[in-house]
Amino acid sequence: MNTTSLPTVNIGSSEFKKNPYPFYARLRAEAPVYQTVVPGKITAWLITRYDDVVSVLKDDQHFVKDYKAALTPEQIKKLPWVPPMFRPLEQNLLAIDGEYHIKMRGLVHKAFTPKRIEEMRAMAEALSNELIDAAVKRGSMDLMRDYALPIPLTIISKMLGVPQRDQDKFHRWIKKLLDLSGSDGGQLLGLPAGIAMMHYLRRLIEDRRRNPQDDLITALVQVEEDGQMLTPDEIVSMVFILLVAGHETTVNLIGSGSLALMENPDQMRLLRQQPELIKSAIEELVRYVSPVEQATERWAIEDVTMHGVTIPKGGQVLAVLASANRDETHFENPDRLDITRQENKHISFGLGVHYCVGAPLARLEGQIAINMLVQRLPDLRLATRPDALKWRPGMTVRGLEALPVAV
């Protein structure tokens, strides 16, 4: 397979995030298993075809989340240094396998129930209305800062039990850590934010131990499985990943999804005329914009050959969801936004044992936030040139820095 004609790109850069789809289309056609270097100077293999991505996501016999199970001691030494205080975060749901993963996921399900998610509907509706009212008074807003961010951040914070006064701090910390994931040396640059967040989480968890509340942190502190409670480190890692996954990806679904509708006014009009299409519209938007661009890393537990390319034992594998969701062999006119699309087996929430726990919450928030925006703001339009929009750097997620709109 000749890859010499392919350009060298930094897949974590802001420039690449503007429009990664042509590059992914070339990879699907010319190099479906593509070797590259990601921040941290780690060699990784991008998997870009739908069928191959599905295979990787479902194959927990050859590809694992826990790097310690796949890498040799020599390979582990070459990984970027992780400060000791951050090592508990390596035990989060996205980085563990097997029985331990099943146990931890089961505990989250006990606290993260459909009933608790549905209880958030009224809050999402009230908050969306309130934020739109404020935007109408001003005549404009940054749709990211003033709308897409507050809704999921407020809701996951409420569910977890993070006081409202601390929500902005949390977002700044998480944004700093995610933005730096696309740069070499990001771990060191992110130290202050990481340290502040870890200290805060430990204090909050200890407070819930002493003063139980009706929230997820209290539920995680109290939950019991086979006579065992979660350790403080396990709770820290769980709260961290729920905060990140519970707001960061939905922020980008609402933001990038709204931009996609503004760029496709025929689809915006159709949704305005037929609000009952919102469920299929959200499924199409989550396919089209793929807020999670690549699934979090997996590691080859032995040599694996795909399409004539051998991924060696210990190789990092990135299943590119954004590419799979635009695969022309699975989606008709994949680069076209069609909110009435019926054959839409997108994989934006992953597959297999690591399927996104928060998918129902993301769908609920996306449906409410985007439908309300479309119905209440008939003159919603971009307030800058499309080419002036800046995309955030970083691995895994794809989202806008800001989205100025007129209302």
Closest CA to 104 of 112, 113, 92: 92
Of how many residues is the chain composed? 407
Reading the block at residue 332, the tokens are 């008709």
**How many angstroms from the chain centroid is the CA of residue 87?**
21
In this prediction, residue 272 carries a pLDDT of: 97
User: Are the beta carbons of 143 and 405 closer than 8 angstroms?
Assistant: yes
Give the chain's residues under pLDDT 50: 182, 184-186
In this prediction, residue 3 carries a pLDDT of: 58
In this prediction, residue 300 carries a pLDDT of: 95
Cα–Cα distances (Å) from 210 to 56, 158, 213, 227, in that order, read 43, 19, 10, 20
Q: At what angle do helices 249-263 and 278-289 cross, to 10 degrees?
A: 100
Cα–Cα distances (Å) from 93 to 105, 130, 235, 382, in that order, read 7, 34, 11, 37
Q: 284: buried, middle or exposed (CB in 10 Å: 19+, 13-18, 0-12)?
A: buried
In the chain, domain spans? 83-289+332-406
In this prediction, residue 226 carries a pLDDT of: 62
| Superfamily holding 83-289+332-406 | Cytochrome P450 (1.10.630.10)
Buried b (16+ CB within 10 A) or exposed e, 14-45: eebbeebeebbbbbbeebbbbebebbbeeebb
In this prediction, residue 248 carries a pLDDT of: 78
Pairing of strands 316-319, 42-47: parallel
In this prediction, residue 201 carries a pLDDT of: 87
Q: Could you report the per-residue pLDDT of 303-338, keeping only the tens digit for each?
A: 999 999 999 999 999 999 999 999 999 999 999 999
Q: What is the distance between the alpha carbons of residues 128 and 365, in angstroms, rounded to a whole number?
A: 10
Does the CA dihedral 61-68-35-398 come out positive or negative? Answer: positive
Helix (H, G, I), strand (E, B) or coil at 82: coil
Q: What is the pTM of this model?
A: 0.89
In this prediction, residue 38 carries a pLDDT of: 87
Q: What is the distance between the alpha carbons of residues 353 and 267, in angstroms, rounded to a whole number?
A: 34
Q: What is the distance between the alpha carbons of residues 193 and 153, in angstroms, rounded to a whole number?
A: 18
Reading the block at residue 282, the tokens are 């959200």
Q: Please enumerate in sequence order all residues whose Cβ is within 8 A of that of 231, keeping only pairs 6 or more positions apart, or say none.
A: none
